[in-house]
A and B are shown apart, each in its own frame.
Chain A
């Protein structure tokens, strides 16, 4: 009885003390919150708000001028039977399958080369990094000229060795290949992170491998690559997300009369529906399907990491 009394009389006291502790925490955190409040405000208004609103809009008919009109799941139902949507989703998936592994291979390969301590290595690193900071629009404009079938640099070089180059941005399969090639152009950004990962590998692991008589290839296979897998995993996830949101280059080429079969990516079709055809509700539904696809693929990647990513 006494115990009961004491425990019941203690309960409000402990609640009070925990509330007081929470209040103290908040007070202590207030200056920090005040410092990040501009970002918090921006995040709430420009990211979280539109993000949540788009869930509601995906169930409406909305042209941004008139008030949204509830249509239930019609946008999703119509989307399921929209051949352009399925084609653009297929194209986006194909692009992710082609460009992401190539970008990882190229990034890792370049970083391995640029990890050698040779004379002028800083210069080489800068040269390979530079394309990644050139604005995408400028890169695309340059590539439109480089890949021009008649006067472009690539076909001129091919012609010099007696090869007739393809009509790069005029035929669907070559347009797709060109877009993948353009993705490799910007690989310098991920290359820097691979390089940082390589620098982070403890030297004693290589020393131990050398003592065991491991060849250069074996050191790469059993030391370097396993130790680099966290960085590879990070870049893989980020590249997959970026390739599902692939827009600028494809949109620019579509407007330059490139074949639409190879340029109408999901994000391009979404933009067209939203801003050209003023179908914001339908575009919101597309955005949510895209979000779910990205979440699914990222989730699958996270599930696989236990098997091949080493955080040792």
Chain B
């Protein structure tokens, strides 16, 4: 009797389980899916980008504005994970189904353009648009997108670096924020006054630590590429002076001490930026930090100034990169993509586009956007941002060397910088090795039949 009752319970449980599973399956199969297209009758323009979180919200707002602005195209944005975006793009191009437009920030233009993967934008631009771009775009915006005389990338946000200083730290050390140093040597001297150590001699605050050869070499009159002659300039006097300067400051503090101190800092996301947490008193960083400081540390008193050049060096110089839009070969709606690009960049209507740049805290490619009322209002709200806008017209900003093996070269430059900073190689030996590696890569490529 008890056995029969147990079987009955089991059967009922099995029946109930099956019914629930069936209901779930029906629910999943017939559930209404969210519409992918808000305007299904328009021509779809597929747009890939790598922004996430708060940045994705901004991008979606710009896309929405574009879609509202006309009735021919509908841009459909897709956020692709940054770690795999490049390989996804490559496979999409090879598979014959690439997006129509993509925003990039990796140094990909020369390699991809050389492989025939990108559409030169001058093929999509009208004569007037090309002429406006040539005439008005900031020099650095042109450098970012140009390869072998053709424009492949339209910058929609230029990145520049400047010196952020904490007013509380300066005042505590008896330094006057109004008299910010005018030479790099002076800035390093300030940094030394701002360094703090614990009883064991470990760093507790870094005053100012210049690092990253790419950023400082142009200030010493160096850089990795001669744009006039069209050739690499790696193992040069200026680059050696720059790297020696960077290593010297690090060595004076103690390589091990700096390594340990730095390893505890998270330079990545906004709220953990060591400058914000007080671990750095002066830090060289990009313009996007202004927006982050306003959001995460609104009470912090700080200023921004151009990183001063060394004695006899170049003013308003350094490294620049940016977010730029590319159109792959094989894009089905290249025309629609171009409409979206000129809408966002401000090439079409600078006053309208100015608002987009303020949403993301981006630097525009055109002075007309920076002069627009919306952008000026933004500068009044965030006066620290003005420093970056004033740096934009300079010809002294360097970008990644436009050679077909740019990614390889960028990796080797970073390695040379790292080896010298860790004290494994002297600055001269690190740059000689870099020069040698670049030469060997060129020889290797020529043996495989490449022109350069």
**A and B found bound together:** yes
Interface residues of chain A, those whose CB is within 8 Å of chain B, are 61, 63-66, 69, 71, 74-75, 77-78, 82-83, 148-151, 167, 169-172, 257, 259-261, 272, 275-278, 281-282
Q: Enumerate chain A residues within 8 angstroms of B256, measured Cβ to Cβ.
A: 167
Q: What is the CA–CA distance of A43 and B256 in the complex, to the nearest angstrom?
A: 51
A64 near B411: Cβ-Cβ < 8 Å = no
A61 near B263: Cβ-Cβ < 8 Å = no
Q: Does B189 sit at the interface, judged by CB under 8 A?
A: no
B411 near A276: Cβ-Cβ < 8 Å = yes
Least CB distance from A310 to B in Å reads 47
B263 near A148: Cβ-Cβ < 8 Å = yes
| Additional pairs, 16, CB under 8 Å, beyond known A167-B263, A276-B407 | A64-B90, A65-B90, A65-B115, A65-B116, A65-B117, A69-B449, A71-B449, A78-B444, A78-B447, A78-B448, A149-B264, A150-B263, A275-B86, A275-B87, A276-B86, A276-B411
Q: Enumerate chain A residues within 8 angstroms of B117, measured Cβ to Cβ.
A: 65
Q: Enumerate chain A residues within 8 angstroms of B418, measured Cβ to Cβ.
A: 257, 259-260
A259 near B422: Cβ-Cβ < 8 Å = yes
Q: Enumerate chain B residues within 8 angstroms of A257, measured Cβ to Cβ.
A: 418
Q: Enumerate chain A residues within 8 angstroms of B422, measured Cβ to Cβ.
A: 170-171, 259
Q: Does B408 sit at the interface, judged by CB under 8 A?
A: yes
- List which B432-452 residues lie within 8 A (CB) of chain A: 440, 444, 447-450
Q: Enumerate chain B residues within 8 angstroms of A83, measured Cβ to Cβ.
A: 440
**CB-nearest residue of chain B to A167:** B259
Least CB distance from A141 to B in Å reads 13
**CB-nearest residue of chain B to A260:** B415
Q: What is the CA–CA distance of A64 and B112 in the complex, to the nearest angstrom?
A: 11
Q: Does B260 sit at the interface, judged by CB under 8 A?
A: yes
Q: Enumerate chain B residues within 8 angstroms of A167, measured Cβ to Cβ.
A: 256, 259-260, 263
Least CB distance from A284 to B in Å reads 13
Q: Does B273 sit at the interface, judged by CB under 8 A?
A: no
B448 near A150: Cβ-Cβ < 8 Å = no
Q: What is the CA–CA distance of A278 and B93 in the complex, to the nearest angstrom?
A: 13
Q: What is the CA–CA distance of A75 and B415 in the complex, to the nearest angstrom?
A: 24
Q: Would you list 30 pairs from A and B whose C-beta atoms are within 8 A, ordered by A residue?
A: A61-B448, A64-B90, A64-B94, A65-B94, A65-B115, A65-B116, A65-B117, A66-B116, A71-B448, A71-B449, A74-B447, A77-B447, A78-B444, A78-B447, A148-B263, A149-B260, A167-B256, A167-B259, A167-B260, A169-B263, A259-B418, A259-B422, A259-B424, A261-B424, A275-B86, A275-B87, A276-B86, A277-B111, A278-B90, A282-B448
Q: Enumerate chain B residues within 8 angstroms of A149, measured Cβ to Cβ.
A: 259-260, 263-264
- List which B98-123 residues lie within 8 A (CB) of chain A: 111, 115-117
Q: What is the CA–CA distance of A78 and B448 in the complex, to the nearest angstrom?
A: 9
Q: What is the CA–CA distance of A66 and B449 in the complex, to the nearest angstrom?
A: 14
Q: Enumerate chain B residues within 8 angstroms of A61, measured Cβ to Cβ.
A: 448-450
Contacts known (A77-B447, A275-B87); A66 close to B263, Cβ less than 8 A: no
Q: Enumerate chain A residues within 8 angstroms of B450, measured Cβ to Cβ.
A: 61
Q: What is the CA–CA distance of A272 and B415 in the complex, to the nearest angstrom?
A: 14
Q: What is the CA–CA distance of A261 and B433 in the complex, to the nearest angstrom?
A: 14
Q: What is the CA–CA distance of A261 and B86 in the complex, to the nearest angstrom?
A: 25
**CB-nearest residue of chain A to B84:** A275
B264 near A148: Cβ-Cβ < 8 Å = yes
A281 near B260: Cβ-Cβ < 8 Å = no
- List which B58-107 residues lie within 8 A (CB) of chain A: 86-87, 90-91, 93-94
Q: Does B130 sit at the interface, judged by CB under 8 A?
A: no
- Main SS at interface, chain B: helix
Q: Does B405 sit at the interface, judged by CB under 8 A?
A: yes
Q: Enumerate chain B residues within 8 angstroms of A276, measured Cβ to Cβ.
A: 86, 407-408, 411
Contacts known (A150-B260, A167-B259, A260-B418); A278 close to B111, Cβ less than 8 A: yes
Partner of B448 from the list A259, A275, A281 (CB cut-off 8 Å) is: A281
Q: Enumerate chain B residues within 8 angstroms of A259, measured Cβ to Cβ.
A: 418, 422, 424
A170 near B444: Cβ-Cβ < 8 Å = no
Q: What is the CA–CA distance of A275 and B111 in the complex, to the nearest angstrom?
A: 11
Q: Enumerate chain A residues within 8 angstroms of B447, measured Cβ to Cβ.
A: 74, 77-78
Q: Enumerate chain B residues within 8 angstroms of A172, measured Cβ to Cβ.
A: 424
Q: Enumerate chain A residues within 8 angstroms of B411, measured Cβ to Cβ.
A: 272, 276
Q: What is the CA–CA distance of A64 and B88 in the complex, to the nearest angstrom?
A: 12
- Greatest chain A CB density within 10 A among B260, B422, B450 is at B260
Least CB distance from B322 to A in Å reads 20
**CB-nearest residue of chain B to A168:** B263
**CB-nearest residue of chain A to B94:** A64
Q: Does B261 sit at the interface, judged by CB under 8 A?
A: yes
Q: Enumerate chain B residues within 8 angstroms of A260, measured Cβ to Cβ.
A: 415, 418
- Greatest chain B CB density within 10 A among A64, A65, A78, A261 is at A65
**CB-nearest residue of chain B to A64:** B94
Q: Enumerate chain B residues within 8 angstroms of A69, measured Cβ to Cβ.
A: 449
**CB-nearest residue of chain B to A279:** B448
Least CB distance from A223 to B in Å reads 48
**CB-nearest residue of chain B to A82:** B444
Q: What is the CA–CA distance of A261 and B415 in the complex, to the nearest angstrom?
A: 10
Q: What is the CA–CA distance of A277 and B256 in the complex, to the nearest angstrom?
A: 33
A278 near B448: Cβ-Cβ < 8 Å = no
Binary interface encoding of chain B residues 260-298 relative to chain A, with 1 for a CB under 8 A from any of its CBs, else 0: 110110000000000000000000000000000000000
Across the A-B interface, give the 6 residue pairs with the lowest CB-CB distance, nearest first. Answer: A150-B264, A63-B115, A65-B115, A149-B260, A151-B264, A150-B260
Binary interface encoding of chain B residues 7-27 relative to chain A, with 1 for a CB under 8 A from any of its CBs, else 0: 000000000000000000000
Q: What is the CA–CA distance of A83 and B436 in the complex, to the nearest angstrom?
A: 11
Least CB distance from B448 to A in Å reads 5
Least CB distance from B450 to A in Å reads 8
- Greatest chain B CB density within 10 A among A78, A261, A278 is at A278
Q: Enumerate chain A residues within 8 angstroms of B264, measured Cβ to Cβ.
A: 148-151
Q: What is the CA–CA distance of A281 and B444 in the complex, to the nearest angstrom?
A: 13
Q: What is the CA–CA distance of A150 and B198 in the complex, to the nearest angstrom?
A: 14
Q: What is the CA–CA distance of A151 and B277 in the complex, to the nearest angstrom?
A: 16
B115 near A278: Cβ-Cβ < 8 Å = yes
B260 near A75: Cβ-Cβ < 8 Å = no
Q: Enumerate chain B residues within 8 angstroms of A82, measured Cβ to Cβ.
A: 444
B93 near A65: Cβ-Cβ < 8 Å = yes
Least CB distance from A274 to B in Å reads 9
Q: What is the CA–CA distance of A204 and B101 in the complex, to the nearest angstrom?
A: 73
Binary interface encoding of chain B residues 377-419 relative to chain A, with 1 for a CB under 8 A from any of its CBs, else 0: 0000000000000000000000000000101100100010010
Q: Enumerate chain A residues within 8 angstroms of B261, measured Cβ to Cβ.
A: 150
**CB-nearest residue of chain A to B117:** A65
**CB-nearest residue of chain B to A144:** B263
Q: Enumerate chain B residues within 8 angstroms of A150, measured Cβ to Cβ.
A: 260-261, 263-264
**CB-nearest residue of chain A to B328:** A65
